[in-house]
Structure 1
Amino acid sequence: MSTLDRLTADLTTSLKARDTLRTSTLRQLIGAVRHEAKAGTVERELTEDEVLKVLARESKKRRESAQIYTDAGAPERAATESAEAEIVDEYLPTRLSDEELTALVDAVVADTGASSLKDMGAVMKEANARAQGRADGRALSTLVRSRLAG
């Protein structure tokens, strides 16, 4: 079952259960995926990876919003955004642990023969391909930079 099919099925379930937070969040996610499919000159069918990228972007938006609300002294809104982010994360692949991410970066650096920051682009490209959306780009970049600088 594709992620979009799962979102749609879970929306039906949440509607029947009268779970307003989950229903609202799932509707927003389905809307974001449909919006992405219609972006551009011709509507197209999104691949599974593209759907997951949309969901990752939505999760990141909600986490950033939660932080902004926390900083602004609006804990109720921050809690709502965090709860929505947790719902979105249920549909994303499991994140790599710090140890797994370090091992992945070390393997990519060894495989590519990278030795300086000049090689960072090639290492990042390969590391992102191997991580398959299971790693935060910023954390990955920081780790690659530290491996190549040291």
Structure 2
Amino acid sequence: MLLRDKISHALKAAVKDGDSTRLCTLRLISAAINDLEIAKRGCEEGVPSPITDDEVRGILGKMVRQRQESTRAYEEAGRLELAEQERAEAEIIEDFLPRQLSDDEKAAAIKAAIADSGAGSLRDIGKVMGLLKERHAGRMDFSTVSPEVRDHLAR
């Protein structure tokens, strides 16, 4: 089943259950997917461009990062009720993403990528990051992985 279909089924279930937080979040996800679909059509009217699961995961990942940033901003401003709402939305969105690697798994993946790519210095960070993205796309946040790779290569 496509990820988009899973979201659609979850939306229908949220309507039946009367879960307003989940319903609102799933509607936001659907709107973001529809926006991407419209943007992909571009100038070619009538030519359907199916959205892939990878593109949907990209949208979901972006939405989670936005909510994490909002949570931090609300906490710094002392708006804890809004921070909690953002956290709840992020959890709902994360239900549709693959499980993230733990810190130990991430460290092992970095070490394996360094060994497999033959990287020996900071110049080889691109090789290592490319290998990690190929092997673990969607399962780790590459903005936080990059400094860790740098640390390993600097040793």
Question: Which stretch of the first structure deviates more once superposed, 35-44 or 1-10?
Answer: 35-44
Matched, 1:64 2:69: yes
Task: Report Cα offsets for 1:47-82 as digits up to 9, x if no partner.
Answer: 111111110111111111111111111111111000
Q: Which residue of 1 aligns with 2:82?
A: 77
Q: How many residues align?
A: 150
**1:147 deviation in Å?**
0.9
Question: 1-side partners of 2:64 and 2:14: how far apart?
Answer: 19
Structure 2: stretches of 5+ with no match in the other structure: none
The percent identity for this pair of structures is: 38
TM-score between the two structures when normalised by the length of structure 1: 0.95
Question: Which stretch of the first structure deviates more once superposed, 98-107 or 39-48?
Answer: 39-48
Q: Report the RMSD for the aligned CA atoms in angstroms.
A: 1.2
Task: Report Cα offsets for 1:74-123 as digits up to 9, x if no partner.
Answer: 11111100000000011000000111111111111111111111111111
What amino acid does structure 2 have at the position aligned with 1:27?
Answer: R
Q: Which residue of 1 aligns with 2:11?
A: 11
Question: 2-side partners of 1:36 and 1:116: how far apart?
Answer: 39
Question: 2-side partners of 1:64 and 1:80: how far apart?
Answer: 13
Matched, 1:132 2:126: no
Structure 1: stretches of 5+ with no match in the other structure: none
Q: Which residue of 2 aligns with 1:20?
A: 20
Structure 1 runs of 4+ with >6 Å offset: none
Question: Which stretch of the first structure deviates more once superposed, 37-46 or 21-30?
Answer: 37-46
Question: 2-side partners of 1:39 and 1:70: how far apart?
Answer: 34
Question: 1-side partners of 2:98 and 2:108: how far apart?
Answer: 18
SS of structure 1 residue aligned to 2:119:
coil
What amino acid does structure 2 have at the position aligned with 1:95?
Answer: Q
**1:3 deviation in Å?**
1.1
SS of structure 2 residue aligned to 1:39:
helix
Aligned pair partner of 1:109 in 105, 114, 124: 114
